[in-house]
Amino acid sequence: MGNYSTSKASLSLAQALQELDQNQLEELQQDVHNLARWLTPWIPQAEALISLTEQGVNSVDNLTTRQIETEQDQLVQKQQPVFNLSTTTRQNSFSAQDELPAESAQLKRFAQGIPGRKWQQMRYFVRHLQPWLAQEQKQSQQVTTSDQSVNNCSDSDCKCEPENTRHILEWCAGKGHLGRLIAYQQQENPEETASQDHYQITSLEWQQKLCRQGEQEAHKWQLQQSFVHGDAFDQQAGELIQTNTHAVALHACGDLHCQLIHHASQRQARSLLIAPCCYHLIRADSYKPLSQQARQSQIQLSKQDLKIPLQETVTGGQRIGNLRDTELLWRMAFDQLQKQQLNSNDYMPLPTIPKHLLTGEFKDFIDWAISNRKLDQCISVDMDVDVKAGVDKLNLDSYLEKGQQRVQQIRRMELVQHLFRRPLELWLVLDRMLRLQEAGFHVELTEFCQKNLTPRNLLIKAYRSD
C-alpha cells in the first residue's frame, strides 16, 4: 500500500477507509493478508485472526472454536466461554495432489446437463464417502464369510432387504446429481464394491419437478436411486434416517442442513458428510447455536451477520461480478431517488430484482422499483403527470451519480467485514461439529475442493465408530 500506510494511523478507521483510492481498495479486497496488515492500527489482532483460520485450513489439527472466538472476542472485548473440541480434528485442506482422475467418455456423457462447477464439486465430494463405504464393505465381507448368509430370511421368494444394504440419503437433493453420481460409482466400479453389497440411494427433495427430473435420469442410467418428494422439516423426513444410513448434503442451506444434523443425532445415523452454505437462511430471527458450548457464548448473530461469510464470492466470473455491481449501484440510486421524492432519511429495501431488468435500462428498473414499492402516487402527484412521464422527468443521471458515491462508501466500509468472513464461517461450522460431537460422532473438518469451484468448500465429516 506504499507510503499511504505510514500516515494512516493518525486517522480514524472510517476516515482512512474513505481516503482509499480505487487501486488501494481493490488490492485490499483481493488479499486478506494485506487487508489484515492494513487494519492492524485499529484492529491489533487482525493478522493473528487470519493466520489462525489459515492454520486450521492449510495445516492440521490445532484450530478450535475457542481460539477463533478468543481472537474475535478480544476484538469486541467480551468475556470468553470455553470451547472444547478436543476430539474434533481438522484435516489437511485441498492440495494439488488431490486432483481428480481424467474422466472416461462414459463419465463425460453421465455429466451432461450438470453445470460444470457443480459436477467438479460433486466428484471431489464423493471421494470422502468412498473410504467409509469400503471400510464397511470389508467388515461385512468378514461377517458374511463366516456366516455365508446375506439375508437371514428362509423364504426363497423373500423381498426383504438384504442385511448388508447400505443406505445413502441425499438431503435436499435438487435433481439428485450427487446421489446419482454415488449410485453410478457403486455400480460402475465393481472392484470397489463387493458383489454381496447392496446400495440404496434415497434423494429427498421438496420440489416435485426436480424429483421427477432426477427420477428420469436415474432410470436412464438404471441406477438404484429413488426420490422422496418431501419437506426436510417434516418428522417423516427424519424417519428416512436409520442407524445404517450415510447421509450426504451438498449445499443444503442454513436450517436445512441443521435439521439433518438434528435428525442424524437423534436417530444415530452411521455417518454424515455436510458442505454447509447460506448460514443466514434460518427460520428464527437470529442465530440459535446448535451446540451446548456455543449456546454459552456471548456472541449474538443476526441474520445480517450470518450473511458475512457469503460475501466471499470467488466464483461466477466477470459477467456475474458486473451484474452484482450494477445491482448495488441501481439499488443505491433508487434509494437516493425515494429519499428525495419522499423527503425521507430512511433506507428503502427492494425485493429480489428480476434478472432481465439488470441487463436492461436503468429507467426500466426505476419504473419497476417505483411500482413495486407503490410510489406511483408520490411521483405522479408530485409531477402532476402519470408515473412513466414522471420518471422521464426525473434527472436519473444525478441519482446514478449519488448512487455511485454510496457504492464507493459501502465498498470501503465492507472491508472491515471482509476480515471476519472466514473466521465467522469457521465459528458457525465448528458449532455444527460440536453438536455432532455431543451426539457421539467423531468429527472432522476439511476442504473438499478448491475455492475457485465454490467458496463454500468446507466439509464436515462425522461418523460413528461403534
Whichever of 35 and 256 has its CB closer to ligand SAM, that residue is 256
253 near ligand SAM (CB under 6 A): yes
Residues with Cβ < 8 Å from 463, sequence gap 6 or more?
132, 270, 271, 272, 441, 442
Cα separation, 48 vs 34, whole angstroms: 13
Query: Near ligand SAM by CB under 6 A, which window of 227-235, 316-324, 399-407, 426-434?
Result: 227-235
Whichever of 269 and 369 has its CB closer to ligand SAM, that residue is 269
- Of 324, 323, 328, 345, the residue nearest 336 (C-alpha): 345
42 near ligand SAM (CB under 6 A): no
217 near ligand SAM (CB under 6 A): no
256 near ligand SAM (CB under 6 A): yes
172 near ligand SAM (CB under 6 A): yes
Whichever of 173 and 366 has its CB closer to ligand SAM, that residue is 173
Answer left, alpha or beta for residue 343, where phi above 0 means left and psi between -120 and 50 means alpha: left
Residue-wise DSSP of 89-126: EE-----GGGPPPPPPHHHHHHTTTS-HHHHHHHHHHH
Whichever of 80 and 213 has its CB closer to ligand SAM, that residue is 213
239 near ligand SAM (CB under 6 A): no
Rounded to 5 degrees, φ, ψ at 155 are: -75, 125
Alpha helices in 206-290 (DSSP H): 208-220, 235-238, 254-267
Q: How far is CA 283 from CA 32, 172, 286, in A?
A: 32, 17, 8
In angstroms, give the least distance from the CB of 252 to ligand SAM: 6
281 near ligand SAM (CB under 6 A): no
232 near ligand SAM (CB under 6 A): yes
Q: Which residue shows C-alpha cell 492494513?
A: 38
Whichever of 283 and 363 has its CB closer to ligand SAM, that residue is 283
Whichever of 117 and 442 has its CB closer to ligand SAM, that residue is 117
394 near ligand SAM (CB under 6 A): no
Segment 84 to 123, residues that bind ligand SAM, using CB under 6 A:
118
313 near ligand SAM (CB under 6 A): no
Rounded to 5 degrees, φ, ψ at 323 are: -65, -40
Q: Among 32, 218, 223, 250, which residue sits at the site for ligand SAM (rule: CB under 6 A)?
A: 250
Residues with Cβ < 8 Å from 16, sequence gap 6 or more?
8, 42
In angstroms, give the least distance from the CB of 65 to ligand SAM: 25
Q: Among 61, 192, 231, 239, which residue sits at the site for ligand SAM (rule: CB under 6 A)?
A: 231
Q: Among 42, 206, 221, 368, which residue sits at the site for ligand SAM (rule: CB under 6 A)?
A: 206
CB 36 within 8 A of CB 47: yes
Cα separation, 126 vs 218, whole angstroms: 17
Binding site for ligand SAM (CB under 6 A): 118, 172-174, 177-178, 204-207, 210, 231-233, 250-253, 256
